[in-house]
Homo-oligomer: A and B are copies of this chain.
Amino acid sequence: MSHGIIKPRRGVYIVSSGAVAGHEEEAGPIGGCFDAVDTYEDRFGTDTWEKAESEMQRLAVGFALSKAGVDTSDVGAMLAGDLLNQCVGSNYGLTDYRIPYMGLYGACSTASEGIMLGTLLCSSSVDRAVAVTSSHYCSAERQFRFPLEYGGQRPPTAQWTVTGSGAFLLSADKEDIKILDTDYVPSVVEVLPGYVTDKGITDVNNMGAAMAPAAADTLYRYFSLGRDPSEFDLIITGDLGSEGSGILCEMLSEEGVDITERHVDCGCIIYNSDEADKHAGGSGCGCSAVVMAAHILRNIREGILSDVLFVGTGALMSPLVLNQGSSIPGIGHLVRIRGERIVK
C-alpha cells in the first residue's frame, strides 16, 4: 500500500510566511496579525476584483521573501492556485516574479496542497519553494453564486469567502533559518494527501457539508496509521465553518476518534462569532492560507504551539456541472507541522 503517511527525505522548514487581507478580516480576532490590509474597499489599488486578488498574491509572496531575506532567483518553484477560473488570481499576480511556476487547483485546499507539494519538492532536488493562494469575496461570489449587485439572501449554512492571500516560503537549507529572530521554526514533518470524496451534496450554500467527509476520511486514515489526537496541540481544519466542523467531529466520533478537545477550524476563528453576515464562518483559499500564515505559524514560531495538524479542505465545486445534476466532491490534505528550536 503506497497511500501511507509521506515523510520528507530531509527536514523542510516554513522559513517565513506573508499574509494580506481585506477590511472585514481585519475586523476579526486575528486582524492585527496581517502584513498588509486594504482598510477601505478591498480593491488593493486596482480596478477589478480579480486584479485585487492578483495584487494580494503579489504582496503576500513579497512579504514572505523579504522576511527571509531571500531573492526571487533563490526560489526554485512557485506553487500557486486560487478559486477563479483558470486560476487568474495566481497567473496574473505572480508573472513579474520570474520564479518557475507550477499551477495548482485544489479549491480551498490549495494552501495545504501547496505546502505539501513544496515540502516534497524541497526534500527532493528543488532549492526552496513558495506556496501561495488567495480568494476574494467579491470575485468568488460573482463566479460561484451571484454577483453582489443581485443582493441574494444567504442561508445560515453559507460561508463567507475570505478576502486574503497567504504565502509560505519553504526551504530545506539550514542556513536559511539561522537569520530568523525567533526561537522556533515551523518544520513540515509529515504529509498525507487526500482522496477526492463525493457524498452527494448539491447545495452551493453548504460547502462545509461537502468538505467534511473528505477531512474525516483523511484524518481517520492518519489516526489509523499509528497516530493519536492527543499527540497534537491543535488539529486545525480549513475551511469547514461551524456546519462542516460539527459534521467532521460527528463522523470521526462514529469511527471512535475524538478530536473535539483539540479541533478548531480556520473558518470559525477568522471572523467574530457574533457577526451575523458571516453565518457558518469563513471559507475560500485565502481563509486557511491567512489563518495559517498570520496566526498559527506565528504561534509555532513563538513556542506557544509545538505540534499542529493542518487539514486543508476543498470543495471542488463547479457551477456548470452542478447545473448538469452533479454533486460537489471534496478533498482534504493533511500537513503535520512541528516547531523546531533554532540552534544558531
Contact = CB atoms under 8 A, between A and B. Distances in A.
Interface of A: 1-3, 6-9, 48, 50-51, 73-77, 81, 84-88, 91-92, 94-95, 98-107, 113, 116-117, 120-121, 123-128, 143, 192-198, 316-321, 324, 326, 329, 331, 333
Contacts of A87: 105, 316
Given A92-B321, A117-B117, 4 more contacts: A3-B100, A51-B324, A95-B197, A120-B126
A2 B193 contact: no
Contacts of A143: 320
Contacts of A74: 1-2
Closest 4 CB pairs of A and B: A2-B127, A100-B193, A124-B124, A86-B318
Contacts of A77: 193
This chain: copies in complex: 2
A85 B148 CA distance: 21
Nearest to A119: B124
> Which of A91, A98, A317 lies at the interface centre, i.e. has the most chain B CB atoms within 10 A of its CB?
A91
A85 B85 CA distance: 5
A196 B282 CA distance: 31
A11 B185 CA distance: 32
20 contacts: A2-B76, A2-B127, A6-B76, A7-B125, A51-B324, A81-B105, A85-B85, A85-B86, A85-B320, A86-B316, A92-B326, A95-B197, A98-B195, A100-B194, A101-B331, A103-B113, A103-B316, A105-B105, A117-B121, A120-B124
